[in-house]
Amino acid sequence: MPSSFSSSFLLLCISLPLLLLLLLLLPSCSSNHLPYGSVSFHIDCGGPTPSTDRFGTEWVADRYFTGGAAGIVSEPLRFSLPQEKTLRYFPLSSGKKNCYIIPGLPDGRYYFRTFTVYDNYDGRSHPPSFEAAVEGTTVFGWRTPWPSGVAQTGAYSDLLAFVRDGEAGVCFYSIATDPPVIGSLSILQIDPESYNSDSINGTDFILVNYGRLDCGSGQWGPGFSNDTDLFGRSWQSDYNSRTPSTRKIIDAISTSASIKGTDQAPNYFPMKLYQTAVTLGQSGVIEYELEVDAKLDYMLWLHFAEIDSRVNKIGQRVFDVVVNGENVTQIDIFKQVGAFAPFDWNYIVKNLSSSFLNVKLVPVVGVPLISGLENYALVPIDLSTDPNQVIAMRALKESLRVPDRMGWNGDPCAPTGWDAWEGITCRPNKDRSSLIIYQIDVASQGLKGFISNQISLLSDLVSLNLSSNSLGGALPSGLGQKSLVRLDLSNNQFTGPIPDTLTVSHLQLVLLNNNLLEGRVPEELYSVGVHGGAIDVSGNKGLCGIPPLPDCPMFWENGGLSSGGKIAIGLSCLVVFSVLLLLGYICCIRRRRHDYDFALPHELMSLSAKRNKYQRQKSLMLLEMESQHAKALPSPFSPR
Ligand SMILES: *[C@@H]1O[C@H](CO)[C@@H](O)[C@H](O)[C@H]1NC(C)=O
Ligand SMILES: *[C@@H]1O[C@H](CO)[C@@H](O)[C@H](O)[C@H]1NC(C)=O
Ligand SMILES: *[C@@H]1O[C@H](CO)[C@@H](O)[C@H](O)[C@H]1NC(C)=O
Ligand SMILES: *[C@@H]1O[C@H](CO)[C@@H](O)[C@H](O)[C@H]1NC(C)=O
Ligand SMILES: *[C@@H]1O[C@H](CO)[C@@H](O)[C@H](O)[C@H]1NC(C)=O
């Protein structure tokens, strides 16, 4: 049956691309045993092909980046894992800001791990200075020179952050023209309740790893060993964090017995963490010193399990936990959970006065014991750009065909510590809950596209300057937000009529000169000058209606004779009569217009003549306008 054939064919036509799309969007589920969401990505930055490492982690070839180029470390043999040997770097020709943006993710909490490596890949012996941000909040700062070990062999960093906009963004910002580098990037969805504490709301912070130690063990975890950690966390040896006096008396112990109740929601702390521990062979104090940045607050997690079978009663092992000299709790593991069971305790450390965080376990009964210790910096979430304005800016990036060198990648305004996209000025909104686009100035950038109608979403835009490009197409009706005060579209190839929407804004300066616009200049736009502003529509062959432009032909609207007009002219003298009436009406308006004493031919000409002066005084003028624009500041060429 031809009809059923065609309908199934149609179905195929619809479903096949959908399926392909789904496959494309579907994250690679490399570990299907993940407890939460099972979304994971391992990106081999700079890597040309997908690979599986010797621990079974599947790496995808380099993708999801906004620019830059692939590089290879200078001594690949120094690196044991293939994904560590390649990297991506972002030279200034790719823009000051570049990102990895992984789309199509369910919102929720994620574990991010980056590998940052230099190893003189560019032969310049100059490890770069740059910053990295996750989800619009600056989390890492690299400054040249790097510690020599790190510069040669690279370093892993990880953190926990919420994704709320369906895509994970890791962005890099070049400092002093240095190209940022990245060796690999992994992200894994984790339980949104994980690492929550009673005293802070985890959604307000990014938790940056400042030490994740498994006491009495070597480094392990997914990507480094065959041991499982269902969150993909890596665990380091605690050796380097022990104070020298502790190193002398420490006694590392381990068990192969299983620990009841590990690997459970929401934190899925792995059993291996509790199967080793450090304790003391003689009486004394276990003391750790962790390097921190004193400007931040920290979340400390201590992990315990009684794995010494000689301790089998409450009160046999009791010790105080002293953080930076302050006794914060007393712990009896057996009293809390019995033996061979995990006990986790967390504490928020505020108001640090030095760059070390000191943790001491002071014995009360017996000797102390500890299995693991985690320390996270609490980095407050930065403001990000209003989501609608992000949509608008992405549409404009496409439609204006903004070149790579301008670095229009990631969030247009965030992080607040970085410059916004080149040519963009941002501000916090009224209730300081998000950032908004205030000004766009991309004049003389060789742009060849058009203005997307999505520009209407920029509801706080005050000033738009696209002058002296090669932009074309019609002016969208989306232009004319109430906030707009200055509009400079001069010296482009815009065609079609001036949209009526432009007349609803509070424009003070409208420069549309030297384009290919046509049709009647809207009356209200014309009155801009009356309110102390200025307008220039010269150099457009097709415009009409205001002096010194020619009068508009009858029934001229939106750049052409209206169809109603054509019919009317062809039909009856009744219409001719109304035309005469209308003509009279137009004359009335024009006479009224002369009453305004506005924009006489010589004044419009002198406006163009003054253009150069305005350019030179731009910064001063902008300053003045910004402080006074609410009060209708007289512009230097408002007609008098
Ligand atoms: C944390 O804040 C978010 C929104 O800001 C809220 O939905 C959530 O309930 C809060 N959680 C806690 C534990 O207070
Ligand atoms: C990890 O396990 C895989 C298979 O289970 C094995 O082939 C590989 O040799 C192991 N790697 C190490 C370093 O033990
Ligand atoms: C430390 O604090 C705990 C309660 O948090 C208390 O029981 C213990 O006696 C204190 N230790 C010292 C030495 O003050
Ligand atoms: C930290 O310092 C602030 C102001 O300096 C103070 O208000 C606050 O109570 C201090 N917090 C702690 C835990 O000491
Ligand atoms: C727009 O930018 C150009 C080039 O920087 C400048 O000459 C012109 O004065 C600007 N226009 C406005 C209205 O600021």
The sign of the CA dihedral 51, 57, 58, 62 is negative
pLDDT tens for each residue of 203-231: 899 999 999 999 999 999 988 899 989 99
pLDDT given at position 633:
30
pLDDT given at position 560:
52
Residues with CB under 6 A from ligand 4: 350-351
Instruction: Check: CB of residue 427 under 8 Å from CB of residue 435.
Output: yes
Q: Domain 203-380, what architecture?
A: Sandwich (2.60)
pTM above 0.95, yes or no: no
3-state secondary structure of 84: helix
Q: Which atom of ligand 1 is nearest to the CA of 202?
A: 1
Our answer on whether the CB atom of 329 is closer than 6 Å to any ligand 3 atom is yes
pLDDT given at position 385:
96
Our answer on whether the CB atom of 330 is closer than 6 Å to any ligand 3 atom is yes
Q: Which atom of ligand 5 is nearest to the CA of 511?
A: 13
pLDDT given at position 605:
31
Instruction: Check: CB of residue 304 under 8 Å from CB of residue 369.
Output: yes
Our answer on whether the CB atom of 628 is closer than 6 Å to any ligand 3 atom is no
Outline where DSSP puts E strands in 430-541: 435-441, 463-465, 472-474, 486-488, 493-496, 509-511, 516-520, 534-536
Tokens, residue 389: 């304005």
3-state secondary structure of 361: strand
Stretch(es) of the chain classified as CATH 3.80.10.10: 387-631
- Closest-approaching ligand to the CA atom of 199: 1
Domain covering 387-631 assigned CATH 3.80.10.10 in the classification = yes
Q: Which atom of ligand 3 is nearest to the CA of 329?
A: 5
Supply the residue whose CA is at minimum distance from atom 13 of ligand 1: 201
Report CA(17)–ligand 5 centroid distance (Å).
46
CB neighbourhood size of 51 (10 A) = 16
Instruction: Check: CB of residue 544 under 8 Å from CB of residue 553.
Output: yes
Report CA(295)–ligand 4 centroid distance (Å).
13
Alpha helices of 341-495 — where are they, by DSSP H? 387-400
- Report the C-alpha gap between 58 and 223 in whole angstroms: 10
Instruction: Check: CB of residue 45 under 8 Å from CB of residue 184.
Output: yes
Stretch(es) of the chain classified as CATH 2.60.120.430: 25-190, 203-380
Report CA(443)–ligand 5 centroid distance (Å).
7
Supply the residue whose CA is at minimum distance from atom 4 of ligand 3: 329
pLDDT profile of the chain (640 residues), mean per 10: 43 47 43 67 96 91 97 94 95 95 95 96 96 95 90 93 95 95 96 89 91 95 90 93 93 96 93 97 94 93 97 96 97 97 96 93 97 96 96 98 95 95 96 96 97 97 97 94 94 95 88 95 80 87 84 64 49 49 51 34 31 28 35 31
Residues with CB under 6 A from ligand 1: 201, 203
Q: Which atom of ligand 4 is nearest to the CA of 351?
A: 1
CATH number of 25-190: 2.60.120.430
pLDDT given at position 162:
95
CA-nearest of 444, 341, 356, 451 to 399 is: 451
